């Protein structure tokens, strides 16, 4: 976040690097994969769709945690986060900044990148990307001023970002091949996108008094399965309270454990005295 505040080209240079890298990788795959256009479909490959769905949820969980630096050792957060960012056609830098703004301005209709206030789930899905871009642009102007130069920078960011998305789609298509892209990558991407969207939508809803609150979700079969696949991702209230935990479902268990450990240490100290 500090780099974003200080460097007006923080996103622009990053998007340029992504575009160049994945354009080169796609070109190499076009040269090296002589069998790329070989297409053969088998019925058993349908089972791979399920693994793609699970993988998408794992990617969402891991990507989210890297933005908080929750993987040890810490340098792995950048390595794994960049992979997840590339896989999801996004990027580590912009995802992290947007997510930090979400934590800082939770449910603020102007400053939160994706508040679900008054929207249906479909409306939330359709508008969340544009809303995130709008918030990031406003934050950019806040930190770097609004001028012809900064507006031109934003236009360049958006153009190169979109070209970068195309280069990443091409890369994954060439890497997986037509069948793998269809039965694994697309299901995994949809799982990532819809899983993230549903979690954020359902976890920021009004309570009985009409005030929007951050909620935990568990208990039903659906949420038990989803929490198992997302490392407690639907314990979203816990996550906002304890963002440094990889699995927020364990937040209060760990807090109680620390309390018990302090009690034990205190009792041992009293006995020694």
Dihedrals φ, ψ of 153, to 5°? Answer: -60, -45
Residue 272: pLDDT band with limits 50, 70, 90: very low
DSSP code for 45: G
Residue 39 has a pLDDT of: 66
Handedness of CA 110, 114, 117, 120 (dihedral sign): positive
Q: Is the pLDDT of residue 76 over 80?
A: yes
Average of per-residue pLDDT values in the chain? 89
Does pLDDT of 251 surpass 80? Answer: no
- Confidence grade of residue 79 (pLDDT, cut at 50, 70, 90): very high
CA 106 from centre of chain: 16
CA distances to 91, 246, 263 from 260, in Å: 41, 22, 5
Please state which of the ranges 18-27, 144-153, 263-272 shows the lowest mean pLDDT. 263-272
Mean pLDDT score, 173-202? 94
**Three-class SS of residue 264?**
helix
pLDDT in tens, 48-60: 999 999 999 999 9
Rounded mean pLDDT of 202-230?
90
Residue 88: pLDDT band by 50, 70, 90 thresholds?
very high
- pLDDT higher for 31 or 25? 25
**What whole-number distance in Å separates Cα of residue 230 and Cα of residue 219?**
15
What is the predicted pLDDT for the residue at 38? Answer: 66
Radius of gyration of the chain (CA): 22
């Amino acid at each position: 976040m500090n780099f974003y505040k200080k460097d007006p080209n923080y996103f622009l240079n990053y998007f340029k690097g992504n575009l160049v890298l994945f354009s080169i990788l796609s070109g190499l795959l076009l040269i090296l994969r002589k069998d790329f256009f070989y297409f053969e479909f088998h019925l058993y490959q349908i089972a791979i769709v399920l693994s793609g769905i699970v993988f998408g949820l794992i990617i969402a969980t891991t990507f989210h945690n890297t933005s908080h630096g929750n993987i040890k050792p810490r340098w792995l957060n950048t390595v794994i986060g960049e992979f997840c960012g590339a896989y999801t056609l996004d990027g580590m830098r912009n995802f992290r900044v947007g997510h930090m703004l979400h934590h800082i301005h939770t449910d603020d209709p102007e400053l939160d990148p994706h508040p679900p206030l008054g929207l249906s789930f479909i409306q939330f899905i359709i508008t969340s990307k544009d809303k995130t871009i709008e918030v990031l642009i406003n934050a950019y102007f806040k930190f770097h001023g609004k001028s012809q130069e900064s507006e031109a920078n934003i236009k360049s960011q958006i153009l190169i970002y979109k070209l970068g998305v195309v280069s990443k789609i091409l890369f994954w298509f060439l890497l997986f091949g037509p069948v793998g892209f269809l039965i694994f990558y697309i299901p995994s991407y949809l799982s990532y996108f819809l899983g993230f969207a549903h979690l954020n939508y359902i976890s920021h809803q009004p309570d009985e008094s009409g005030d929007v609150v951050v909620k935990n979700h568990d208990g039903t079969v659906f949420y038990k399965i989803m929490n198992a696949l997302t490392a407690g991702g639907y314990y979203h209230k816990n996550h906002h309270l304890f963002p440094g935990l990889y699995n927020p479902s364990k937040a209060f268990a760990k807090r109680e454990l620390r309390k018990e450990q302090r009690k034990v240490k205190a009792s041992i100290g009293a006995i020694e005295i």
